[in-house]
Amino acid sequence: MPSDCAVIATMHGKESVIAPLLRGALGLRAELPPDFDTDRFGTFSRDVPRTDTPLATARAKIAAAFEHVPYAQIGIASEGSFGPHPQVPFVPCDSELVLLMDRRNGVEVVGHHVTSRTNYAYCVVTESEAAAAFAQGVGFPSHGVIVIGTEDGKSAPLKLLRKNAMTMTGLLAAVAECVALCGAAYLETDMRAHRNPTRMRAIRRATIDLLRRYRSRCPDCGREGFVATEWLTGLPCAACHAPTDRIRAAVSVCAGCGHRRERTSEAAWADPGRCDHCNP
């Protein structure tokens, strides 16, 4: 049974950024599941609803990939989500998660990358000039654009869905078809990894974070994935010494032997501006 095989649960080319990192950091040989359909777990274009959390969906993808490649000892899957930035509501945000499951020792590790560097956008158009302007603004044709039917001003993928236009001529033909059918076309950036180089870079960054976490070992038993999973608040205020909502320590707990490490914050005191007592 090969011990150096990692199966990557993707049909959208994510192995192009994940596989070289696995090989360089862990010496793993990547494989893809044959005839693997990740669209059944949900699509960004909403023709297949995305009903579960990103983490649960990544787990389901890996479980399915292990069925296709039963000798693989490690499974990798990634999930992305897009919407307003958590701190800046009017700025779009790409949040990427990459999950590694190691069947040899039961280790599960998650890497993350959150960035405002995304072309995620959408609009409703009724004529070709507006469609062309939107497409050029989001980087088409190197970045894909999806044409979706509309109903009452909202996207209606069951009425029409065109995902694979590669030229402006093809895209505008799909828009014209949609406008003729629905009266308007809903245009959205294609967030599938193989049609969005900007997103692919974010997946690479999340994979780097994943490997950093996976290679961190428990000081007692040597198990991989010994990283902080809990953050304790209560850093004292520099003025009145009352506890604040700032983090005072990060806690790592080994999933294998239970070894616990609490690492205190580098800051000894919190800014009084974050103190409820000084600023009631």
Q: Is residue 237 part of a domain?
A: yes
Average pLDDT estimate for 241-255: 92
Does residue 62 share a domain with residue 178?
no
Which of 36, 121, 49, 110 is closest to 82 using CA atoms?
121
d(CA 121, CA 188): 6
Band of pLDDT at residue 174, cut at 50, 70 and 90: very high
Report in angstroms the alpha-carbon separations of 80 from 26, 55, 58.
Answer: 24, 10, 10
Q: Is residue 171 part of a domain?
A: yes
d(CA 113, CA 208): 9
Its sign, for the CA torsion 55, 123, 194, 156, is positive
Average pLDDT estimate for 147-168: 95
Q: Is residue 82 part of a domain?
A: yes
Report in angstroms the alpha-carbon separations of 225 from 41, 67, 264.
Answer: 27, 24, 20
Mean pLDDT of the chain: 94
Does residue 90 share a domain with residue 209?
yes
Domain range for 33 is 5-117+196-214
Does residue 84 share a domain with residue 202?
yes
Distance from CA of residue 259 to its chain's centroid?
30
Does residue 71 share a domain with residue 14?
yes
**Would you say residue 3 has pLDDT above 70?**
no
Does residue 39 share a domain with residue 175?
no
Among residues 214, 249, 265, which one ends one of the domains?
214
Average pLDDT estimate for 127-150: 98
Does residue 203 share a domain with residue 96?
yes
Domains of the chain: total: 3
Does residue 158 share a domain with residue 50?
no
Which of 73, 75, 99, 107 is closest to 257 using CA atoms?
107
Does residue 113 share a domain with residue 129?
no
Q: Is residue 223 part of a domain?
A: no
Does residue 169 share a domain with residue 65?
no
Average pLDDT estimate for 34-49: 92
Cα angle at 18 between 17 and 19, to 5 degrees? 100
pTM of the model: 0.87
